Each structure stands twice: as structure tokens, then as C-alpha cells.
Structure 1
Amino acid sequence: MSEPFKILIFSRTTAYRHKSIPPSIRALHRLASASGSGPHPFTADDTEDASVFTPASLAAYRVIVLLQCSGEMLDDDGQLDALKGFVRSGGGVVAVHCASFAMPSSEWYGRLIGAVFDNHPAPQPGRVRTLDPEHPIMTCRRLLDESHYERGDDEMTAGVVERTWVDEWYNFKAHPRRATPDGGLHVLLAVDEKSYEGGVHGDDHPVAWCQSFDGGRCFYTSLGHFDEAYEDDWFMGQILGGILWAAEA
């Protein structure tokens, strides 16, 4: 077993605030507690105090989880520079749902996340396809619960896992595959726009991806609007996988 590493859960909002923030914080602490019996243990701190964004404070962490952040979550350029320095020194970022609606003043932040939120239709069921079921982020769900396949909640055909999921289906200001200059996003999940109303990206609508960016790693999922997501092993397995992948654990 390796030495535990630390993650920072940051959930500050200055615009829309999700009611699912408290249960999502509790869920991440449960992941941290459960990790103690696994090969890659980690501990978690949570805060909404942006003053933690200094080079000295962030040096204690291997991963920052931007959990449902919105609006200008950082107070000044010094705090943004601390985040940039963290990433450029190899730090990992896991960004959840509304985090693509944060820091509209920073073009760099938009590239870190991989896309910028534009709008969404009313929450409704949609059919999600897993495009790379063997990616380490996606296989971590097996550490939590293998029973989705046994219950028939998922269908595996031709190497693609599909699942019906209820969420806010985010539309982005630019298509995620074209939002980064080098097209470096590795898309993990896409939603079938024919399965719901209100999509604008066509047959290829990414909803979760990862990338190496500016020296570090970032995993982003646009899912996670409702409290129930943070009790779901399929979804929380991806969050766990994202943390371990971003930490290069």
C-alpha cells in the first residue's frame, strides 16, 4: 500500500448553487475513508474559502476536486496563478458538473476543464454511452459495485456500456472535441441526443472526458446534478477513478 495522498474538495459558488453540494461532499469523504483499505489511500479536506489557493497551501494536495463551483470562484489573479502553478507542477484536477460554469473571466480555466457551459434543457432521462469502458477512470466502478451488470441496469454491446441516466444535459459554448486547440480531450461518456430533448451537439455529444493539460491532468464530468448521483456506484466509481487517474496513483 502506498502512502496516503491528500485531495482538496473546493465547492465555492458565486452564481448558481446546487442543492446537491452537501451530499456530494459527504460522498467524497466516504470515498476517502473507504480508500484506506485499498492500494491507493487518500484523505480529503473540504472548503469554500478561496484563500487556500496559494502555492504553499496547494502544495499539500495531489488533486483538487472542483465540486459544483460556479461563477468567479477565485477572488483575484494571485489565486488563479496558484491554481495554474499547481497544475503546471503536475497537480490533478477533478471537475464536477457546474464546474464548467466557473471562472468565466479565465480562458485558461475553460481550457483546463475542456469546455464552457452554455445552457441545458429541463432535467430528463437520457441514454449514456461509455466510449472507453476499459479506461482506468471507468473501471474503478468495479471497485465499488459489480452488480449493475448482474441487475441489468447496463447493457454491454460491442464494447460499449449504455445506461439510462437522469440529469441536466449540458450544452457547451463550443463542442468539447474542438474546444482545446490540440483536440486532446479523451471522451469517456457521450449522451444519445435522440434519447432526450434539447441537445445541440448532434450524434457526438460528450458528457465526460479527461485530458493531460499544461503539465497536469484533468477529469471532467458534466453529470451530477441530483443528490441521487452521489449514492450511485456507477457515478461515484467514475469520481474515484478520476481522482486516482488525476493523481497518477
Structure 2
Amino acid sequence: MAAARLLVYTRTTAYRHDSIPDAVAAVRASAGFAVDHTEDPAALESPLDGYAAVVFLSTSGEVLTPAGRERLAGYVASGGGFAGIHSAACTEYDWPYYGDLLAARFDRHPAYQPGKAVIEDHDHPATRHLPTVWDFTDEWYDFRTNPRGRVRVLATADESSYEGGGMGADHPLVWCREEGAGRVFYTALGHASGAYRDPDFLSHLRGGIAWAARAGS
């Protein structure tokens, strides 16, 4: 039987992460799915029903056509999976639906630095393997609004563990939710290439994508 497929989309029209090639290679190697990788917005205008999930991996800016927006929204509503990684939250600011889909939009980040993520929910494939306090190095995104109450929060940032946090004591960092019949997973982590060589982070990604694709519990 053919492996389930992911559509991994990395188009950028704003900031572009140098880590994208390493990130795509890591998803190909570790996600457990066949991967179609593209930066062509026309790929999102075609039927998406053959994909277990669509992954926006460090996308930025406006990356979809009107037809692609319609296709993606219909795909998720009808049961498709969506996973956003890192600057997927810096994407499609001009499309209100996308902000609702992801449940929060990027605001700012402090300097790239070590910090601590606190795992709030271990009963999820993205986080069940992680220690309660996970030492990691990243940009520790702040968001324009706190998504709690609209999402299932899986991990939060401990702002006391790094410099420059702006959301306070309740700072969601990783979460999931349902949209129509579909599933949405988002992790703010994944800025640098080193993340995509970290076994814990790779398991985190694999679990989140598998959940969105309904290949995990």
C-alpha cells in the first residue's frame, strides 16, 4: 500500500529562513509520510484530497492565491489536516480565515537564545515523549493574542528562562485544534537548522503532523 502523502509548502514573500532546506529534508526523512515539497502557489489551487495533511513550513507573507485560499479552507473543513511550523504564524496576514485557522498570529520575538518550554499536556503525540521542562534554543515567539480558550495548549514558554518575553505567565507555544472536520497543529519552534537535527524536536514534529493527518491518536 502506498504511503500517505504530505504537501509541504515553504513559499516566502517576507523573511526567509535559511533552515528551510534542512527542515524539508528532516520532514522527508522522519515524518513517516511520502512528501511532496513545493513553493508554487498553483499546487494549492489543485485538489488536496490526496494528502493526509498540508504543512506550512516556515512560510512567510502572503503565499496563496484567492483560489488557493478557497481550496485550503475547503480541504480542512472537509477533514484535511493542517500543520504550521514556526513562521507559519507570520503568514497570510491579509486573510482573516487563516488567523482563525491557526488561532494566533505572530507579533514579535526576542533574540534567538536558550530557554525552557513547559509541557502542559503529555497526552498528545507531539509532546508525550518530552520532559515536563524542555530545554531548547529558539526565538520564543510572542503572539498578537493568546490562543488559550480556542485551542488545546500543549506547551508554553517559561519567560523567566530567557530574556525579552512579552506575553507574561501564560505564553502558549505549541497547540492543536479542530476546524470543521479537520485538525490543525502548530508549533512556534523550529527557527534554526540545528532544530531539525534534534531527536526530541523531530519526534515533536512527527507527532504533531501525524496527529493532524489522523495517523496518530
Which stretches in structure 2 are left out of the alignment for 5+ residues? none
**Aligned with 1:190 (options 151, 156, 168):** 156
Alpha-carbon distance, 1:62 to partner: 1.4
The match for 1:43 is 34
Alpha-carbon distance, 1:3 to partner: 5.4
Q: Which stretch shows the higher mean deviation, 229-238 or 129-138? A: 129-138
**Aligned with 1:100 (options 89, 93, 99):** 89
1:193/1:203 contact within 8 Å kept: yes
The match for 1:39 is none
Q: Point out 4+ residue stretches in structure 1 off by more than 2 angstroms.
A: none
Which stretches in structure 1 are left out of the alignment for 5+ residues? 36-41, 142-153, 178-182
Q: Secondary structure at 1:137's aligned position in 2? A: coil
Larger radius of gyration: 1
For 2:46 and 2:20, how far apart are their aligned partners in 1?
Answer: 26
Matches within 5 A, 1:13-162: 13-32=12-31, 35=32, 42-56=33-47, 58-74=48-64, 76-139=65-128, 141=129, 156=131, 161-162=132-133
Matches within 5 A, 1:166-181: 166-177=137-148
Matched residues, number: 215
RMSD: 1.4
For 1:5 and 1:98, how far apart are their aligned partners in 2?
Answer: 25
What amino acid is the match of 1:100?
A
1:55/1:86 contact within 8 Å kept: no
Say which structure is richer in helix.
1
1:63/1:247 contact within 8 Å kept: yes
Alpha-carbon distance, 1:214 to partner: 2.7
What is the TM-score with the length of structure 1 in the denominator? 0.83
Could you list the per-position Cα deviations for residues 92-117 of structure 1 after superposition, in whole angstroms to 9, with x for gaps in the alignment?
01100000000000111011112100
Q: Secondary structure at 2:126's aligned position in 1? A: helix
What amino acid is the match of 1:69?
T
Q: Secondary structure at 1:65's aligned position in 2? A: strand
